Chain A
Amino acid sequence: MLPKDWTGREMKRLAIVGLSKNAGKTTVLNHLSGAAVSRSLPAGLVSIGVDGEERDAWSGRPKPQVLVPEGAVVATAGPCLDVRAGNWEVLEELPVRSLLGQVFLARAVRPGTVKLAGICSAEEVDRVLEGFGRHGVRLALVDGAYDRKAAAHPIRSDGVILVVGASAGKTLEEVVRRTEEWVRIFSLPPCGDPLLEKAGKRAVLEGWTMGIAGEGIEPFPLSSLLVDRGKLSEAMGSRPWTALAVPGALTDRTLMLLAQCGCSFPLVLSSPTHAFFSLRTLRTFLRSGGEIRYLERPPLVGVAINPVSPEGGAFDPREMKRRMARVCRPVPVTDVIRDGFDGLHLMPWRWDGVH
């Protein structure tokens, strides 16, 4: 049986995204892959960007190794498999290149560790996931690199787990604030309206902001919203707009300008990866009557916390979990090291020995 999120939805592709570097994504990945195998769910492991290295690419600190249970399929570069040649059954060569070389799919014939060469583009991640499907993977685990939300793209995942480490801030207040901001912005609602959805798709397809006026979708007079207030105001007044669909990123400045120009209707973004504004500006925008919706968004199925920072320092785990649970509600929060994934209801706990 596939894992389900807290709303009961089955998940075949889970993405793990870090709020900061050294958040503890690899620990979460290891936990999930082990739990999947113990439930007889063949897992597939892939990493976006640089991951699985012995040292963190940014801080240079030692990183936990990616543990590969027997039967799991990995997507990684040939040289990473050559380290322990006897551990692998090489299944397929993919038309994907990583910084470490051509990427292969290989099944672990014995448990071990691996360096996961990072896949760079979203299209390449798709190819890997298709490959997993061909080789019987039931649960794909996509390890997103620090500060990359590409893995959170809905086409590539059925759910996202956010990993928040103590390294995300100097104080617990700061970590909680950053988490709340991420969760609130990520969890903005989907389109939920056929006309908005149509406008969103057209904006992405044509790479041009689209406006809805009455029942019709029309190109907005400006190719980019990164303009001065006068021009934006003029464009806003050109038609009786009732919604705008923006194909690219929406920044703090643009959102503030839109609020000042009287934008009190829905804005459609293609996905949370395009939201580059702060919670404070969002609040101002929402108070002025505006709304933000996403064309596509995977559900946030859980938040995993790591109260210990590899750079030194730690927060009280109970306090951190309590405060995080409050700002993330209704998304469940877990401390993987202490609680496993019980709190997320993803993988019912079952002690099955040493991995």
Chain B
Amino acid sequence: MFIDEQTKQHLLWADVLRGFRPRTPMGRKAWERFSPFLPGQEREWEEVLAEQERLRKAAEGDPDWGHRIDACLSRVPDVLPLFPLLRGKQSPGVSGWFQLKGFLWQVKNLGERLREKGLQTLLSEVEPDLCPTLLRRLNPDSPLTPAFSLVSAFDERLGILRGRLERLDRRIREEREALTRRIAEEYGVRPNRWGEWVVDRRSDVSRRMAEDRRLRLVRESAFDRVFAPVLSPEGEGRMEERSELEARLEAVEREVLEALAADFAPHVPALERAAEAVARFDLQWSRMEAARKWQGCRPRLSAGPIRVAGGVHPAVAERLREEGSRFTPVDIRVDKGVTVIIGPNMGGKTMVLRTLGLIVALAQHGFFVPAARCELPLVSFVSGVMGDGQDARAGLSTFGAEVKRVAEWFGKKGGLLLIDEIGRGTNPVEGAALSAAVTAHLAQSDHWAVHVTHYAEVLEVAGIRRYRTAGLRDAERDRGRDDWASRMDFRLIPLAEGEGVPHQALLIAEAMGMPRGIVEEARRWIAGAPGSAAAERLAGGGRETGKCRKRGGVLPWRSGPRG
């Protein structure tokens, strides 16, 4: 699996794709079974992106043209259920034939629209003669229309039978009208809309009508009698003839539809290819439209690192916009091995993971990505250990759930791993050791791992790339201000040589309203902790600039080369 449900949730995948909706039924079905582009499919991936680039250029240069394409796609009916019927030479109903005609009509229109912009190759799988030929078979009279009916041009017998039926109906109607008029005049009673007389059963007219052989009693109630005219024997004969004609007409109509089905059966493979082509184009168009909303850029293929400049998480950015804030774009380079991000709480570390994971996942699903620039190799999967991964049914704690998930990665190859503070769910000493050990192993692996942590020990691992989030600005001057968010700098900055884990938790706690006495007490605790020269600096609110403070002896991975 390229991306599991848990990771999708962490990346807010559904929120981002809420605006992505293929227009056609076949496009929606294709998206449900769509698999992202994986290593080895670089050529196909680049083709999809190049096509979208051409489409986007055309749509942005001529918005009306874009609306016409949208309208064509939105009107494509669901013809997939008709194909098995036609393959078996069974006729769909009249509504099914209408849908098939509508499909051919819209594919023809779509082809014409694409030709206007020299983009006809995007529907090249559709046989050039398919639509005109089949449309003419469904519309044997002129001119072509998108409506469908069993016109007499399908079979000359239809015209003959319908003509006879019409003439017969006219004669029956004339006879009834004449009889009705005569009776109405004789009795001085007007018939109702259905040519019946409703008369008071106690009236003299009722008695006389009951005795009139030209009338028959249709029904009666306690108050009324309802009479209808009786046709002459010739008239009755015409009624019988009419029933026979109706039956023959129905039989011919059935024959016509069956012949049409037999005629269409050999074209089913071509129709299926056309439906696939429409689905593919629809996905391209819908991806392009979705990416236009987040002003996406075309991702480029990279030989090794994942590089993102100006990366944005559209769903979070939207939420921040509503709150009057703005998203700080992410600039990051992730090489094979491990990239570690450190920084204060609420400094934006997790958001970096989310944004990066989302951009890679979108890219591999063929989308332009929400970034100013992006290059990446195709990875085998995207997986994250982020937030609380407790699985209540499996009875796992946060820590257990994380460990189980991380352990699974070691059996795989070439994925993007997003790790949010592994080991935080257990005691700090073991947690730090495990966090550093996992980092050390991943550093030697085939994965692109990004690890967000507070453990200074992780920075000791050899061969890793390091970043920090900028954190609180001008901490001393603004101390005590309530508006901590405006003081926070969410930018990601490469970590300078020798720079350690920043300590701003107490400052942030204070900014967020923790009583000053408690914060001061915490500072005193740090100051009083054994062997901590750095603690003195911490108590003053600064950043630890020396080597990281170690909790134990020399760690085995410390001696390796520094990245």
Any chain A CB within 8 A of the CB of B176?
yes
| In contact, A90 and B95 (Cβ under 8 angstroms) | yes
| In contact, B223 and A34 (Cβ under 8 angstroms) | no
A38 nearest CB across to chain B (Å): 9
| In contact, A93 and B253 (Cβ under 8 angstroms) | no
Known: A317-B223, A354-B176. A85 touches B195 (CB 8 A): no
Any chain A CB within 8 A of the CB of B173?
yes
Any chain B CB within 8 A of the CB of A307?
yes
CB nearest to A85 among chain B residues: B94
Q: Which residues of chain A have C-beta atoms less than 8 A from B223's C-beta?
A: 307, 314-317
Known: A351-B191, A355-B193. A82 touches B149 (CB 8 A): no
Known: A35-B193, A89-B148, A316-B223. A353 touches B173 (CB 8 A): yes
CB nearest to B181 among chain A residues: A351
Any chain B CB within 8 A of the CB of A247?
no
Q: Which residues of chain A have C-beta atoms less than 8 A from B193's C-beta?
A: 31, 34-35, 336, 340, 355
Known: A93-B98, A102-B95. A109 touches B149 (CB 8 A): yes
Q: How far is the CA of A339 from the CA of B189 in the complex (A)?
A: 11
Any chain A CB within 8 A of the CB of B222?
yes
Known: A78-B93, A79-B93, A81-B93. A314 touches B173 (CB 8 A): no
Any chain B CB within 8 A of the CB of A204?
no
Q: Which residues of chain A have C-beta atoms less than 8 A from B99's C-beta?
A: 93
CB nearest to B253 among chain A residues: A86
Q: How far is the CA of A86 from the CA of B191 in the complex (A)?
A: 32
Q: How far is the CA of A41 from the CA of B312 in the complex (A)?
A: 58
Any chain A CB within 8 A of the CB of B217?
no
Q: A56-99 interface mask toward B, CB cutoff 8 Å, 1 = contact, 0 = none?
A: 00000000000000000000001101101110111101000000
| In contact, B95 and A82 (Cβ under 8 angstroms) | yes
Q: How far is the CA of A35 from the CA of B193 in the complex (A)?
A: 9
Any chain B CB within 8 A of the CB of A104?
yes
Contact of B95 among A81, A307, A314, A316 (CB under 8 A): A81
| In contact, B150 and A104 (Cβ under 8 angstroms) | no
A343 nearest CB across to chain B (Å): 13
| In contact, B195 and A354 (Cβ under 8 angstroms) | yes
Any chain A CB within 8 A of the CB of B257?
yes
Known: A88-B149, A89-B149. A81 touches B94 (CB 8 A): yes
Q: Which residues of chain A have C-beta atoms less than 8 A from B190's C-beta?
A: 351
CB nearest to B222 among chain A residues: A314
A172 nearest CB across to chain B (Å): 12
Any chain B CB within 8 A of the CB of A227?
no
Q: Which residues of chain A have C-beta atoms less than 8 A from B254's C-beta?
A: 85
Known: A34-B193, A89-B147, A338-B192. A104 touches B224 (CB 8 A): no
Q: Which residues of chain B have C-beta atoms less than 8 A from A104's C-beta?
A: 95, 98
Any chain A CB within 8 A of the CB of B102?
yes
B106 nearest CB across to chain A (Å): 11
CB nearest to B166 among chain A residues: A110
A169 nearest CB across to chain B (Å): 17
Q: Which residues of chain B have C-beta atoms less than 8 A from A31's C-beta?
A: 193
Any chain B CB within 8 A of the CB of A226?
no
B253 nearest CB across to chain A (Å): 4
Q: How far is the CA of A106 from the CA of B148 in the complex (A)?
A: 9
Contact of A353 among B94, B177, B257 (CB under 8 A): B177
Q: Which of A324-355 contact B (CB under 8 A)?
A: 336-340, 351, 353-355
Q: Which of B102, B150, B180, B193 neighbours the largest number of chain A CB atoms within 10 Å of its CB?
A: B193
Any chain A CB within 8 A of the CB of B221?
yes
Q: Which residues of chain A have C-beta atoms less than 8 A from B173's C-beta?
A: 353-354
| In contact, B147 and A85 (Cβ under 8 angstroms) | no
Q: Which residues of chain B have C-beta atoms less than 8 A from A107's C-beta?
A: 147
Q: How far is the CA of A150 from the CA of B71 in the complex (A)?
A: 31
Tally of B interface residues using CB under 8 Å: 37
Q: Which of B176, B198, B224, B226 neighbours the largest number of chain A CB atoms within 10 Å of its CB?
A: B224
Any chain A CB within 8 A of the CB of B36?
no
Any chain B CB within 8 A of the CB of A235?
no
Q: Which residues of chain B have C-beta atoms less than 8 A from A86's C-beta?
A: 149-150, 158, 249-250, 253
Any chain A CB within 8 A of the CB of B77?
yes
Any chain A CB within 8 A of the CB of B96?
yes
Q: Which residues of chain A have C-beta atoms less than 8 A from B253's C-beta?
A: 85-86
Q: Which residues of chain B have C-beta atoms less than 8 A from A82's C-beta?
A: 93-96
Q: Which residues of chain A have C-beta atoms less than 8 A from B77's C-beta?
A: 93
Q: Which of B250-264 contact A (CB under 8 A)?
A: 250, 253-254, 257
Binding site secondary structure of chain A: mixed
Any chain B CB within 8 A of the CB of A308?
yes
Q: Which residues of chain B have C-beta atoms less than 8 A from A90's C-beta?
A: 94-95, 97-98, 147-149
Contact of A308 among B97, B150, B176, B221 (CB under 8 A): B221
Contact of B224 among A89, A106, A317, A339 (CB under 8 A): A317
Q: How far is the CA of A307 from the CA of B176 in the complex (A)?
A: 27
Q: How far is the CA of A353 from the CA of B81 in the complex (A)?
A: 44
Q: Which residues of chain B have C-beta atoms less than 8 A from A351's C-beta?
A: 180, 190-191
CB nearest to A38 among chain B residues: B193
CB nearest to A315 among chain B residues: B223
Q: Which of B77-112 contact A (CB under 8 A)?
A: 77, 93-99, 102
Q: How far is the CA of A90 from the CA of B221 in the complex (A)?
A: 42
Q: How far is the CA of A107 from the CA of B253 in the complex (A)?
A: 17
Known: A90-B98, A90-B148. A337 touches B198 (CB 8 A): yes
Q: How far is the CA of A308 from the CA of B190 in the complex (A)?
A: 20
B295 nearest CB across to chain A (Å): 30
CB nearest to A320 among chain B residues: B223
Known: A109-B149, A307-B223. A93 touches B102 (CB 8 A): yes
CB nearest to A112 among chain B residues: B246
Q: Which of A101-128 contact B (CB under 8 A)?
A: 102, 104, 106-107, 109-110
| In contact, A78 and B95 (Cβ under 8 angstroms) | yes
Q: Which residues of chain A have C-beta atoms less than 8 A from B221's C-beta?
A: 307-308, 314
CB nearest to A135 among chain B residues: B147
Q: Which residues of chain B have C-beta atoms less than 8 A from A93's C-beta?
A: 77, 95, 98-99, 102
Q: How far is the CA of A91 from the CA of B149 in the complex (A)?
A: 9
Q: Which residues of chain B have C-beta atoms less than 8 A from A340's C-beta?
A: 192-193
Q: B192-222 interface mask toward A, CB cutoff 8 Å, 1 = contact, 0 = none?
A: 1111001000000000000000000000011
| In contact, A84 and B176 (Cβ under 8 angstroms) | no
CB nearest to A350 among chain B residues: B193
CB nearest to A342 among chain B residues: B190
Q: How far is the CA of A263 from the CA of B93 in the complex (A)?
A: 60
Q: Which of B97, B147, B173 neighbours the largest number of chain A CB atoms within 10 Å of its CB?
A: B147
Q: Which residues of chain B have C-beta atoms less than 8 A from A314's C-beta?
A: 221-224
A323 nearest CB across to chain B (Å): 14
Q: Which residues of chain B have C-beta atoms less than 8 A from A78's C-beta?
A: 93-96
CB nearest to B150 among chain A residues: A86
Q: A295-322 interface mask toward B, CB cutoff 8 Å, 1 = contact, 0 = none?
A: 0000000000001100000111100000
Q: Which residues of chain A have C-beta atoms less than 8 A from B97's C-beta?
A: 90
Q: Which of B176, B191, B223 neighbours the largest number of chain A CB atoms within 10 Å of its CB?
A: B223
Q: Which residues of chain A have C-beta atoms less than 8 A from B147's C-beta?
A: 89-91, 107
Q: B176-191 interface mask toward A, CB cutoff 8 Å, 1 = contact, 0 = none?
A: 1100100000000011
Q: How far is the CA of A85 from the CA of B95 in the complex (A)?
A: 9
Q: Which of B236-274 contact A (CB under 8 A)?
A: 249-250, 253-254, 257
Contact of A85 among B102, B150, B180, B198 (CB under 8 A): B150
Q: How far is the CA of A104 from the CA of B146 in the complex (A)?
A: 13
A231 nearest CB across to chain B (Å): 35
Q: Which of B106-139 contact A (CB under 8 A)?
A: none
Q: Which residues of chain B have C-beta atoms less than 8 A from A109's C-beta?
A: 149
B378 nearest CB across to chain A (Å): 37
**13 additional A-B residue pairs with CB within 8 Å, beyond A79-B95, A308-B221:** A78-B94, A82-B93, A82-B94, A82-B96, A85-B254, A86-B149, A86-B249, A86-B250, A90-B147, A90-B148, A104-B98, A314-B222, A353-B195
Top 7 nearest A-B pairs (CB, nearest first) are A82-B93, A78-B95, A90-B98, A89-B149, A314-B221, A85-B94, A86-B253
A-B contact pairs, 12 of them (CB 8 A): A35-B193, A79-B93, A82-B94, A82-B95, A89-B147, A90-B97, A106-B94, A338-B198, A353-B173, A353-B176, A354-B173, A354-B195
